[in-house]
Structure 1
Amino acid sequence: MKNIIILLLTIFLFSCENEFLEIPDTSGTVDLDEIYSSGKNAEGALAKCYRDVLKHGWPTGWGVGHGNLGSISGERYKGYSWHGTFHIAESGLSVTGSDGSDAGADHYKQNWMYIRACYIVKENIDRVPDMSDEMKGYIKAEATALIAYRYMGMFYRYGGLPLVVKSFNSDDDLFIGRSPLSATYNFVEGLIEEAYSGLPDRWESKYGGRITKGAALAMKARLQMFAARPLFNSSKPYISGSETDSLVCFGAYDTNRWNEAIKSNEAVLTWAKANGYELRNTGGAGDGNPNPNAMDDYGTAVSLPNNNEVILAYKFNEENQNNNYLAYYYNASPYWWKDRWDTDNIGLLTNFLENYYLEDGTTPVWPKVGDASPLPASHWLENMSKIEARFKVDYIVPGAGSKSNPGDNSWNLGGWGRRAGNTSASNSFPGVGESGKGCGAPTKFYYKAGGRTWFEPPLFRLAETYLNLAEAYNEIGNTSKALESLNKVHNRAGLPKITESDQARLRTLIQREKAIEFVGENQRYYDVKHWKHPDIANGIIGGNMRELQFYSSSMNNNGQMPNQIIHYWDANSYVAYWNPRMYLEPIPQTEVNKGVTVQNPGY
């Protein structure tokens, strides 16, 4: 399957609005005999499964037609008024959806379409005449892994789910209700273990992008982390309702869930070491010491296709901007010309800025809402000169520009062609003069990318494995192992080691590290919910969202050159909506109305 992304076969899977799950097309559009008459066609069907399944949570794979998850995770501004993220930030998740979604921030029905397509591949691959038995076995395992990947994502989005074990025929009973959370967990874990047993450790380079044993291990590790976190691993559900309790809660706290997660994450590291994968740290400073190559190592890990920190990526190297909606809300540079204005209002919120460290490991001082006076531009510029390397890869900012693409003016203030923050020649202190641009525009995923407009979203990076271990070891009280794992990531970022020994304070630091390391990677929206983060309603998903304001001497060059900024301050920009029912996504009301499935509590 040379270059899995190019081998596409259009398979039309139509749905019936009267059924709960997707039913097969019987119009003759899909000719299984033709598809499975050759290895090339069959590999195309598998490639389409990869393309559809692995985009879960990314643009075109999460239901909302405009924006990305960062705009409802407290990372960046909510977008324009026609963006689905704007509506969710304003009024919460809806059982009828908006902006292309069938409910909430996911596309529930899409999941079942894609799962069915994977089962069809798994059930029919043995019919292919010109394919080895070994390859057929691999493809069955890949299809199983893809089913598991979608189920894993639905598990932490919805809780208990309908358990589908095959593709349905037109005469099958399609009305399947939701199984309890515990049964769903066991089912998904079983799928992952089945896939693992049939997958290779590595693929030849011509098969780049295909799922390996390591990806299956990472999938199991993530599943177990969500099972161990407070939202599910509790004696009481987040909202009690006798009909739904077993769907959204295990019913008892079990410390062993953390131990199981540790075993699985350690297994990922063992596999990685044996197969040439590692957390990139080329500085040679040794364990516990700041990495002098932090910017290049982090930038490479999140941006360079096929780098050896990424266990699995979504391979989508589409150059045609008219066909690449994946990059549409991530590439804010002038190299992206299609409807560039649609990414005007995705600026960095002060709420999230405050997570970053200075390079000496201390926390910067930032202006506060209600300050008696603004801070001078020199204060901002000094912070920007000393801020940690990850920030310099992740953003272009007023006054300091970007370090993401050295020597490329299009990735810096002179060639950016629009404001990189809320700059204005009107002094509106202490209020909001401008909104939407925040204090920076995103550049993550494009480190040294130049004119490359596409990127490959990393789905599993080894940095996640280390932070999973830090979290799990801390929860069972093994502080030394927690710090060892946390500092692998923290030191790689060029920061001095953390020594905190108090469990609660260390938990906060681990969660802070996860926020910084994985900004823009679709993890925070789910992490903070399953952590039941104490600030989830106070500036993360809900509550006051703040933006820095920059007063400039003029608006030449968008008022963002270092000699133009006079002073800056923080201001409340908008209030985002939060309700505890939003810990999990709503089931589409159209499905609930059929009388087979049960809605999540509170909707």
Structure 2
Amino acid sequence: MKNLVFRTIFFCTFVGIIVLSHSCERFENFLDKPPGVDVNEDTIFSNQTQVETFITTLYREGLHSTLAINDGTSPNPNSAAMANGFFGHSGTGNISYVGYTDEGQGVADWGDNRNFNKGLVNVTNIHHSDYRYHLRWYVIRRANILMERIDNVPGVTQSYKDQVKGEALTIRAMNYFEMLKRYGGIPIVDKRLSTTNLLEFPKDRRSIEDVVNFIVADCDQAASLLPNSYPSNMRGRITKGVALLIKAKTLLTAASPLFNTATPYLDLGEYNNLICYGNYDRDRWQKAADAAKAVLDWAVQGYASLITDKGVDKNYKYVWETHDNSEILLANKFVGTALRRNQHPFTHILFPGGGAFPGTYGTTILFNFVRRYEKRDGTPQDWDMNGGDDLQQKYDELDYRFRQTVGYNQSYWNATLPVLNLYEGQGHYTNCWGGHWQRKFVPDAINNGSGTAIPHNYLYRLADAYLIYAEALNEAQGPIQAARDAINAIRNRSGQPNVPTDLTPDQFRELVHNERTIELAFENNRLWDATRWMTAEDEIGGDMYGLQIKRVTRPTEHFTYLPYVPTQVGTRVFRRGMYLHCFIQTEVDKGFLVQNPGW
């Protein structure tokens, strides 16, 4: 009996809650409570105004960041860092996801991506690669409470109740999807836990199939409840399209080689169903394609559209720079307004280092990533790994998205830094091991003094649905016309030609993989794509290249390049076990969770 009580107490910690009686539940962190006013759960659900405050906090806590791993070195969801929008102004959590992939490398030497890239992540430090693990359970609990209480709030319409349930279901699904792609099967908690029902709930991990079905069911129900759009003054709330896209992303992950297989990436014996389906089923790809098509059908009714009218050399930048454009389905709005040196949590990863903005570090973009860009005629660029003297010409030939994504030698960065000099002997070159700086997500209005630009920290956009549709259709039926049309819609708006009509399924797969890497660059997709495709050992691991760039003045000025492996980046290690995150050991020690293999 004593052991049972001990395990129960620790399970409460595992799900990120403090289970108290209904009457003494504490919700102070949900509200800006006036002095002397006691706020309890009944107060919060007493009218629509109070409910809206609860929902605002659910969004703030439940929506992750695309730009960086959320800060908060403590897993306590009540900590000051987490209460401040989960971005923090210091600490190792403020590291770009770019540095965890072959896209780039964070220059700051305190970045947690360093352990990950060296294969040194383990059961005691994995939380540095997923600061939100405990917070997600906290958010799921709040979503469950909201769904439980909303029907009894006086004075609200049925349409409002439906909308709120849809928002809560979508946020719950979103957080479960984020855990699915990191951990595989996880426990399912679909209602509030309390002292009276705690022992009735399963505490062990559920199968991949169960978790996928749970997320899909949440998305389906949410889509039936949510509006297609909102008035302009409510822009930023979850629509039907968001729920549909999360469903499509979930089914795409489920259909991919990591999970859709009879043989897991490593054997877990009798628990293999926690990390794979246990069989391959092509129909899983068709379900993902159908889900993506539902997003496109929703969009074509006028609720979302690709940006295509700004010019092939500007469409892409418009998407990531202009807030609330027609392509964005959901963005995280809880970001401070000041984007200038040392006064914003993202400056360390967005501002170039090397003296361009003193006190910042920046993210250097690797040659591995740059080599993925096609020329504008759709053919591969012919980079010479032994070096060359035509660097600027090669840059000028690349896909227009390159110059809108990457800061390269002699390129425009913004008004404050109109020319990047990334050749030896220049300040901008210092610590720029990859030979390039990140440009994407840096508004032109950024400056070194009193800038108030806000980075566009969006989570989901319509282009992803086109890419999911193309990938899943190819795997289900081959590179049929509908799959080609979907990929061409993305390519054409940036000036890239149609894909060839005679590609084999394998060739089309390779093209789609590369297109996702380019189109969704720096949007926290690359690591999860490489793991679900089972290509991470070769692409996230291995030699990471930069460029040594030199300026030559005679007989005419030109720039030479030489690919090299910088010692600061080196050869990365992606161990087989890293295809899924491990659970931190303190959680496993509670006796409920089976650890993922390889840890």
TM-score range, shorter chain: 0.7 to 0.9
Does the 8 A contact of 1:62 with 1:105 survive in 2?
no
Given the superposition, is the C-alpha separation of residues 595 and 25 from structure 1 closer, same or farther in structure 2, using an over 3 Å criterion? closer
My pick for the range that moved more, 214-223 or 307-316, is 307-316
My pick for the range that moved more, 444-453 or 39-48, is 444-453
Tell me which amino acid in the other structure corresponds to 1:486.
I
Residue matched to 1:430 = none
Does the 8 A contact of 1:234 with 1:251 survive in 2?
yes
Residue matched to 1:551 = 550
Q: 3-state DSSP class of the match of 1:347?
A: strand
Is 1:412 the counterpart of 2:418? The answer is: yes
Q: How does 1:239-258 map to 2 (within 5 A)?
A: 239-258=266-285
Tell me which amino acid in the other structure corresponds to 1:478.
G
C-alpha deviation, 1:514, in angstroms: 0.5
Residue matched to 1:136 = 161
Tell me which amino acid in the other structure corresponds to 2:318.
T
Residue matched to 2:109 = 81
Superposition CA RMSD, Å: 2.8
CA distance in structure 2 between the aligned counterparts of 1:455 and 1:57, rounded to whole angstroms: 11
Residue matched to 1:591 = 587
Q: How does 1:382-461 map to 2 (within 5 A)?
A: 382-402=393-413, 405=414, 408=415, 410-413=416-419, 421=422, 423-424=424-425, 435-446=431-442, 448-449=444-445, 451-461=451-461
Residue matched to 1:429 = none
Residue matched to 1:501 = 503
Match of 2:320 among 262, 284, 302: 302
Given the superposition, is the C-alpha separation of residues 588 and 564 from structure 1 closer, same or farther in structure 2, using an over 3 Å criterion? farther
Tell me which amino acid in the other structure corresponds to 2:468.
N
CA distance in structure 2 between the aligned counterparts of 1:425 and 1:212, rounded to whole angstroms: 48
With normalisation by structure 1, the TM-score equals: 0.83
CA distance in structure 2 between the aligned counterparts of 1:422 and 1:154, rounded to whole angstroms: 42
Tell me which amino acid in the other structure corresponds to 2:61.
D
C-alpha deviation, 1:300, in angstroms: 1.2
Unaligned stretches of 5+ residues in structure 1: 1-14, 284-292, 414-418, 427-432, 555-562
Is 1:35 the counterpart of 2:34? The answer is: no
CA distance in structure 2 between the aligned counterparts of 1:452 and 1:37, rounded to whole angstroms: 37
Tell me which amino acid in the other structure corresponds to 1:483.
R
Q: How does 1:97-496 map to 2 (within 5 A)?
A: 97=125, 102=127, 104-105=129-130, 107-171=132-196, 172-173=198-199, 176-282=203-309, 293-320=311-338, 327-332=346-351, 341-344=359-362, 346-368=363-385, 371=386, 374-376=387-389, 379-402=390-413, 405=414, 408=415, 410-413=416-419, 421=422, 423-424=424-425, 435-446=431-442, 448-449=444-445, 451-479=451-479, 480-496=481-497
Residues 346-372 of structure 1, C-alpha deviation per residue, up to 9 Å, x if partnerless? Answer: 21101000011222222222231xx2x
Residue matched to 2:13 = 19
C-alpha deviation, 1:421, in angstroms: 3.9
Is 1:572 the counterpart of 2:565? The answer is: yes
Does the 8 A contact of 1:56 with 1:62 survive in 2?
no
Given the superposition, is the C-alpha separation of residues 582 and 74 from structure 1 closer, same or farther in structure 2, using an over 3 Å criterion? same
Given the superposition, is the C-alpha separation of residues 425 and 110 from structure 1 closer, same or farther in structure 2, using an over 3 Å criterion? closer
Does the 8 A contact of 1:68 with 1:329 survive in 2?
no
CA distance in structure 2 between the aligned counterparts of 1:178 and 1:454, rounded to whole angstroms: 39
Does the 8 A contact of 2:339 with 2:455 survive in 1?
no
CA distance in structure 2 between the aligned counterparts of 1:436 and 1:250, rounded to whole angstroms: 43
Unaligned stretches of 5+ residues in structure 2: 1-8, 28-39, 73-91
C-alpha deviation, 1:190, in angstroms: 1.0
Tell me which amino acid in the other structure corresponds to 2:366.
L
Does the 8 A contact of 1:359 with 1:387 survive in 2?
yes
CA distance in structure 2 between the aligned counterparts of 1:473 and 1:94, rounded to whole angstroms: 37
Q: 3-state DSSP class of the match of 1:77?
A: strand
Does the 8 A contact of 1:483 with 1:498 survive in 2?
yes
CA distance in structure 1 between the aligned counterparts of 2:303 and 2:345, rounded to whole angstroms: 29
Q: 3-state DSSP class of the match of 2:511?
A: helix
Given the superposition, is the C-alpha separation of residues 127 and 571 from structure 1 closer, same or farther in structure 2, using an over 3 Å criterion? same
Q: 3-state DSSP class of the match of 1:505?
A: helix
CA distance in structure 2 between the aligned counterparts of 1:60 and 1:52, rounded to whole angstroms: 14
Does the 8 A contact of 1:295 with 1:390 survive in 2?
yes
Residues 148-187 of structure 1, C-alpha deviation per residue, up to 9 Å, x if partnerless? Answer: 1101111111111100011222442377110111111111
My pick for the range that moved more, 227-236 or 302-311, is 302-311
C-alpha deviation, 1:25, in angstroms: 6.0
Tell me which amino acid in the other structure corresponds to 1:532.
M
With normalisation by structure 2, the TM-score equals: 0.84
